[in-house]
Amino acid sequence: MKYIPTGLFAATVVVSSALGGGPLATHALANGGTSGSGFELFIASAVENGNGTVTLPLHRGTSNGQTVYYIITDTSNGNVSSALGVNTAQKLANAANTAAVQKVSFNADGSVNFPATVHFGLGRKLVPGTPGAFPPSVAQPGAVGEAGYSPLIQLPDGTVENAPQVANASGQADKVISLDTAHMKVTYKETNGFQENGSVHYLSTESSSMVAAAIEDLTYAPALDNAPTVGDDSTASARATLVTFANGQTGAGNPNRQGLSSAVADNLDALNLLRWNPSQGRYAPLWDVNVGVWSDAAVANGQNTRQTAVSTAQEDLAQAGLITGPGGARFGASGFIVDCPIISRSGSIVAFP
């Protein structure tokens, strides 16, 4: 084992030597149901099960001679997305021909051949820090991509797909509930969050931050940091804005619980804020994480309450000085990505735990 201090979160990360030549050596609504008004299911091929999980089509491919299983959640091409029943995210085209994508080929049987795959089954470790749980004192993701691994794949025709790998000979992603290779379906744990004063369910699959990957129990995929452009969620970028809070309130059952300290201490979703949804042209599943830190005064006055909109954080909280970036920096993009395709949205606020 070796210990590597992280940059952004200053946690201790335990890295297994079993990775060899990998990059480190270099709750839910059922379909049609509502919890209020305006329910939208964005991924038509998905079936939400009403218990915090979603069932998706499973795809089989290869990587360096082994079988891999993956899902497709978004593509840059509207016709391809319609055929697959997945989200259209035209902004993914901005990642084409960058180091954020794997350029794949097709096997003789039409299946996809990936240059790189994932080491699953490494054993996630997450130890709360003191005081405040976040940053954690130890953070080890349970899955790490090989050198060059990315969930973004570029097809020979230039289409970019968000195609996270969920299983191979080494094991499966920790959030996989069941893997049915006979019927080619996978059931995956959803994550709860908010999108401009509505409630969303999304998948969390990869992060370019080792600490975030450990907290959210994702695959560590540092290649995603090459997606253009940090701090830009315009249509010229491959990213969209996500806000999370470092020091929100904690305590399971606390209606104001939210943020990274709660995710570590309570083992519950951080209830992040996502700026766009898949019906909007500025949506992308690659979320440019903006870490907000509540001021000491805001915490002392109990103002660090649960938030439900990125616009409020950017336009009200930050401008009033109630939140800053880590270390008192200006609030903004923190320099890492989480891959979180949105499955569904309700127009009302769900009282997530």
**Mean pLDDT confidence for 234-251:** 98
pLDDT for residue 201 is more than 90:
yes
Q: Which amino acid, 45?
A: S
pLDDT for residue 229 is more than 50:
yes
**Mean pLDDT confidence for 151-175:** 98
What is the rounded average pLDDT for all residues in the chain?
A: 91
The domain ranges of the chain are 2-346
Per DSSP, helices labelled H in 206-301 are 210-216, 260-266, 296-300
pTM of the predicted structure, to 2 decimals: 0.91
Q: What is the pLDDT of residue 38?
A: 87
> Which H helix or E strand runs over 82?
helix 78-84
pLDDT-above-70 percentage for the chain: 90
Residue range 285-301, pLDDT digits in tens = 999 999 999 999 999 99
pLDDT for residue 36 is more than 80:
no
pLDDT for residue 4 is more than 50:
no
Residue range 84-128, pLDDT digits in tens = 999 999 999 999 999 999 999 999 999 999 999 999 999 999 999
When pLDDT is cut at 50, 70 and 90, the band that residue 264 belongs to is: very high
Pairing mode, if any, of strands 47-48 and 53-57? antiparallel
What is the distance between the alpha carbons of residues 253 and 147, in angstroms, rounded to a whole number? 41
Residue range 134-154, pLDDT digits in tens = 999 999 999 999 999 999 999
